[in-house]
Amino acid sequence: MHAIVHPADIQDRDGGALVVATLFGLYPFLLKLYADGGYQGPVFQSAVKAAMQTLNVEIVKRSDQAKGFVVLPKRWVVERTFAWLNRCRRLAKDWECLNRKARAYVLLASIRVMVRRLGRAKV
């Protein structure tokens, strides 16, 4: 639905605040945002509240009792989506010199995934 490509020296939490700030008005129907532990803390929470008052952030945490690999249901959706996008060889490595070009290729890869899914749909 939305993507921002930023330099590697920006933390995920700060980049997430950038994404949420640019979502303002685009998707007023959003009610819940799932995030991992990197987005915890008052900085991200205040950025979300400043941009979208109705958006509720839920941090998906790993259980303290879990040992080894454990699938976290909501986080798995994000990781699966990244895997689908990385099937496009251009996104597997950082070849782009400009952030806007990298974002364009992320959007093209997303369109490719959506078109393939629509093509499989039974009518």
**H-run or E-run covering 52:** none
Query: What is the arithmetic mean of pLDDT over 13-30?
Result: 84
Query: What is the arithmetic mean of pLDDT over 79-90?
Result: 81
3 state SS of 78: helix
Look at residue 107 in the predicted model and tell me its pLDDT: 87
Token code pair at residue 86: 């990385």
Mean per-residue pLDDT over the chain, rounded: 82
- Tell me the pLDDT tens digit for each residue of 110-123: 888 889 888 886 65
Distance of CA 72 to the CA centre of its chain: 16
The model's pTM is: 0.67
Token code pair at residue 56: 């509720």
| Whether the predicted pLDDT of 23 surpasses 70 | yes
Matching residue, tokens 């640019």: 22
Nearest C-alpha neighbor of 7 from the set 109, 103, 123, 105:
103
